[in-house]
């Protein structure tokens, strides 16, 4: 009995229980009947039976075959009941937004996850008085678009439209300001009201948080954000790797903040940092999402990040540390064996802790260099350290150069930096963290090209695409036509 209880509460046990609950709940749906979920539940090995019967889906196939019915307000398609909310995924700058279903069950799951994260804060040695302070949550507008039978909007806006009861007394900027659709107008209201609030926490995408604080400081003629929010001690961030923003944050702070990472995607709340002294996040294994993992290598994905065939997936008990995996989700919003587009790496399997190592479509391997976003972040962070500059934004692409290839980088910073001093530091660090890159740099991957541009150009690009604020972030890798458009934009606006 003790052994059985241990198995049920192990990571694999939690995940099997989660999958059983998901399948049982969705069994009466059109999707559940099509794939005979009740038969899967009768199997001796539910996980294996589920993987054998249900194929892998990306957004296009899931939308084309199933979600288009839900968007026409058909009930019980891939999840029980009618889907009332759809999150517009942040996507990449300029790319069409995807509409991800957000069920009532998923909203409850996200609130549970937020509650767990909030109660992990005492592990970070926080003064208990801080829990009485305001929490500035900078996201998308909560004034959602009514499409008749359902609403669409940024996931943060969907969550802000009905914050949990326990949070409402502390929630800033408050429901009135959160409903303003224009990002600039919403920020202007926050700037005006900032002196009235005693903010202890800030929550959001680092780039937009930094821009908000800089505008507050500029408007009120301050030296630091702590001149107006002296209680500010905690930053809960997500969406992108934080390190490129750290120097920019430190420049506008009087006191060191506690930084807490989170992994909240449009598809669900996946993980959060539940202890200090690590940048890894603990996966939520018992909260409405079943996870699978595909080794992210050239056998399973091509150089554009497209999946090859139908590769085998691993469950939580089969993964290894320090290996990149493409993440596959089955959720209580009716996503089934769905490739989210992110890659993750386990840093501590016993704790089920991960980092986000990149995106399946946002890595460079034009000649076998296998350069991940995590590698790129390491390189940019080294440049920041050596040259003592803040580089909050960057993007890169691989281009053909005669019979060889090259990487072309755009680094965003507000100080004058000589590219000839950046390139050797960046290149050396990339060689250190990625052996494949070092090998290719000695053969077909020739000199790095690099331009240093104002950070404001990245924000202007967002503005041109209508993607200011919320969960939007600039893609670290641009390919083909998107890169050509970006280069033309930079040339015309610098």
The pLDDT value recorded for residue 361 is 79
Q: What are phi and psi of 145, to 5 degrees?
A: -85, 120
Which residue do the tokens 């050396």 mark? 428
Q: What is the DSSP letter of 361?
A: S
The pLDDT value recorded for residue 96 is 53
Print burial letters for 152-168: b (CB count within 10 Å at least 16), e (below 16): bbbbbbbbbbebbeeee
Beta bridge partner(s), residue 235: 202, 259
Domain ranges within the chain, ordered by starting residue = 57-67+79-361, 373-493
Is 60 a residue whose pLDDT tops 70? yes
Q: What are the structure tokens assigned to 204, written together? A: 């959001």
Contact criterion met (CB below 8 Å) for 270 and 284: yes
More confident residue, 201 or 480: 201
Each residue of 71-86: pLDDT tens digit? Answer: 999 999 999 999 999 9
Angle (CA) 95-409-364 rounded to 5° is 65
Name the pLDDT band for 166 (thresholds 50, 70, 90): confident
DSSP 349-380: GGGTEEEEEEESSS-B-SSS--B-HHHHHHHH
The beta-carbon contacts of 397-401 under 8 Å, at least 24 apart in sequence, are: 397/364, 397/477, 397/478, 397/479, 397/483, 398/364, 398/366, 398/479, 399/449, 399/483, 401/446
3-class DSSP assignment, residue 271: strand
More confident residue, 207 or 93: 207
Contact criterion met (CB below 8 Å) for 49 and 331: no
Name the pLDDT band for 3 (thresholds 50, 70, 90): very low
Q: Which of 218-232, 416-430, 473-487 has the lowest mean pLDDT?
A: 473-487
Rounded average pLDDT over 5-11: 64
Name the pLDDT band for 95 (thresholds 50, 70, 90): very low
CATH number of 373-493: 1.20.120, 3.30.300, 1.25.40, 3.10.110? 3.30.300
Name every residue whose Cβ is closer than 8 Å to that of residue 360 and which is 6 or more positions away in sequence.
296, 301, 305, 307, 326, 339, 341, 342, 343
Q: Which of 124-133, 315-324, 354-363 has the lowest mean pLDDT?
A: 354-363
The pLDDT value recorded for residue 298 is 85
What mean pLDDT is reported for the chain?
90
Distance CA 71, CA 151 (A): 10
Task: Note the CATH architecture for domain 57-67+79-361.
Answer: 3-Layer(aba) Sandwich (3.40)
Each residue of 105-163: pLDDT tens digit? Answer: 999 999 999 989 988 988 998 888 999 999 999 988 899 999 988 999 989 899 888 88
Rounded average pLDDT over 250-256: 94
Distance CA 387, CA 108 (A): 46
Each residue of 419-445: pLDDT tens digit? Answer: 999 999 999 999 998 888 888 888 888
Share of the chain above pLDDT 70, in %: 97
The pLDDT value recorded for residue 437 is 86
The pLDDT value recorded for residue 5 is 42
Q: What is the DSSP letter of 123?
A: G
Given the DSSP bridges, would you call strands 289-295 and 281-283 parallel, antiparallel or unpaired? unpaired
Distance CA 37, CA 29 (A): 9
């Amino acid at each position: 009995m003790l052994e059985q209880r241990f198995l049920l509460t192990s990571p694999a046990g939690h995940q099997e229980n989660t999958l059983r609950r998901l399948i049982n709940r969705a069994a009466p749906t059109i999707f559940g009947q099509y794939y005979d979920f009740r038969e899967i539940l009768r199997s001796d090995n539910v996980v294996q039976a589920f993987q054998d019967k249900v194929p892998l889906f990306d957004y296009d196939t899931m939308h084309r075959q199933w979600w288009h019915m839900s968007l026409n307000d058909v009930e019980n398609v891939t999840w029980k009941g009618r889907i009332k909310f759809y999150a517009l995924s942040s996507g990449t700058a300029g790319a069409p937004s995807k509409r991800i279903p957000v069920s009532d069950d998923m909203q409850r799951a996200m609130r549970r996850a937020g509650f767990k994260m909030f109660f992990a804060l005492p592990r970070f040695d926080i003064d208990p008085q801080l829990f009485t302070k305001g929490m500035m949550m900078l996201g998308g507008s909560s004034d959602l678009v009514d499409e008749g039978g359902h609403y669409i909007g940024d996931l943060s806006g969907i969550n802000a439209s009905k914050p949990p009861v326990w949070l409402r007394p502390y929630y800033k900027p408050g429901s009135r300001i959160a409903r303003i659709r224009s990002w600039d107008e919403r920020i202007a209201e926050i700037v005006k009201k900032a002196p009235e609030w005693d903010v202890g926490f800030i929550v959001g995408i680092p780039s937009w948080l930094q821009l908000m604080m800089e505008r507050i400081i500029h408007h009120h003629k301050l030296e630091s954000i702590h001149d107006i929010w002296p209680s500010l001690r905690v930053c809960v961030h997500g969406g992108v790797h934080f390190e490129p923003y750290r120097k920019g944050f430190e420049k506008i702070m009087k006191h060191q903040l506690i930084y807490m990472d989170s992994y909240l995607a449009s598809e669900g709340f996946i993980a959060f940092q539940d202890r200090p002294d690590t940048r890894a996040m603990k996966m939520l294994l018992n909260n409405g999402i079943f996870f699978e993992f595909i080794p992210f290598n050239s056998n399973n994905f091509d150089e554009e990040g497209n999946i090859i065939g139908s590769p085998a997936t691993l469950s939580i008990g089969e993964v290894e540390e320090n290996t990149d995996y493409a993440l596959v989700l089955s959720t209580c919003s009716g996503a089934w064996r769905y490739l989210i587009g992110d890659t993750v790496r386990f840093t501590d399997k016993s704790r089920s802790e991960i980092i986000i190592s990149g995106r399946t479509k946002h890595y460079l391997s034009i000649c076998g260099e296998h350069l991940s976003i995590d590698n790129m972040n390491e390189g940019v962070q080294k440049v920041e350290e050596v040259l003592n500059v803040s580089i909050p934004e960057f993007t890169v692409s691989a281009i053909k150069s005669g019979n060889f290839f090259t990487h072309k980088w755009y680094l965003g910073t507000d100080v004058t930096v000589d590219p000839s001093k950046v390139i050797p530091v960046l290149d050396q660090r990339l060689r250190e963290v990625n052996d494949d890159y070092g090998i290719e740099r000695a053969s077909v991957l020739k000199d790095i090209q690099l331009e240093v541009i104002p950070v404001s150009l990245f924000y202007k690009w967002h503005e041109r695409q209508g993607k200011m604020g919320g969960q939007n972030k600039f893609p670290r890798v641009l390919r083909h036509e998107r890169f050509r458009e970006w280069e033309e934009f930079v040339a015309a606006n610098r």
